[in-house]
A = this chain, B = another copy of it.
């Protein structure tokens, strides 16, 4: 059920088996350097989100450039990273299954781990798992700063959960998780600035109320690729959880004042049918390149438009320029990098048209 690598080092890109996940190494390294360069003067640290890249290799490349660790959403992702040598992992999400909590505690013997919570019952379950493992677990309180998903309300409700954590001999209060997901793709920069200003203000107030109760926030974490410039310079957030910045996708590129990163992630696809003038069919449908954030864009082929996806077919309309030939390969820019990466077992690292490396997508399918 592990798929074979679709390429070997030294191959030309057009020889790679399709569909394949291409990582443009020059663009990828430039993105990592750009984020490190932006954050250095702010004093805010990067804790990159591995739900995007799912790779301990990429995680360690980020940490070489100053990232303090990684975020994940799932215990199985934490396992894949820790087993690959990542030393500091925050589960930026709630986990309320005793079996999963036991796995997380087992992991805490080889890596520094932390977990978010937004409910007293979740704290009690984590406490039992920590006690059973004979290890203390660091917990962050997730507050809802406007995204209307998980999270307790900022202010007194959050303080009460923090006090519950701090009072436990098996837990350590680690700070606040304050991520505003829906702000990331607000198109106008003014809208994003205003939304994050509100999130920062609610977070600042909660940090102060905690301090009044003698509770210091080791971590105040949040932000994504769409808004990190605001949180990083807020004076309130200590850690930035951007993930997509390393790879980029069409959805983030569609933001006005798009973040200053290059497209490093592509799906390589092959033309498998040329039924009539104006249409070519490629071998990447929505199983190969999920369409939850829109269709992919053919890369550097302005006359082509990806206009329809079925399971294993993509319909590309030829609206200008030369039609691609049967057997030709094209790069597609994914609509959304996170679910696209999660479809593949291997990154094919390419530089100057040649395959340089194959990297496993170690947390592919790690949903549990």
Minimum CB–CB distance for A227 against chain B, Å: 16
CB-nearest residue of chain B to A273: B150
Whether A20 and B368, one on each chain, are in contact in the complex, defined by CB atoms closer than 8 angstroms, is: yes
Contacts of A309 in B (CB 8 A): 292
Partner of A368, one of B6, B100, B315: B6
Known contacts A122-B326, A181-B310, A272-B150; A367 and B281 CB within 8 A of each other: no
Known contacts A312-B367, A361-B1, A368-B18; A286 and B149 CB within 8 A of each other: no
Contacts of A360 in B (CB 8 A): 1
User: Contacting chain B: which of A210-218, A232-240, A336-344?
Assistant: A336-344
Known contacts A1-B365, A19-B368; A121 and B327 CB within 8 A of each other: yes
Whether A95 and B272, one on each chain, are in contact in the complex, defined by CB atoms closer than 8 angstroms, is: yes
Interface size on A, residues (CB 8 A): 70
CB-nearest residue of chain B to A147: B310
CA distance A73 to B144 in the complex (A): 44
CA distance A362 to B17 in the complex (A): 20
Residue A291 interfacial (CB < 8 Å): yes
In addition to A118-B275, A150-B313, A290-B290, 17 A-B residue pairs with Cβ atoms within 8 Å of each other are: A3-B368, A18-B97, A19-B367, A51-B311, A96-B271, A96-B272, A97-B270, A121-B327, A149-B273, A149-B281, A149-B310, A150-B273, A150-B275, A152-B275, A287-B342, A287-B367, A311-B338
Instruction: Name A's B-contacting residues (CB within 8 A).
Output: 1-4, 6, 17-20, 51, 73-74, 76, 93-97, 99-100, 118-119, 121-122, 125, 144, 148-152, 181, 270-275, 279, 281, 283-284, 286-288, 290-292, 309-313, 315, 326-327, 338-339, 342-345, 360-362, 364-368
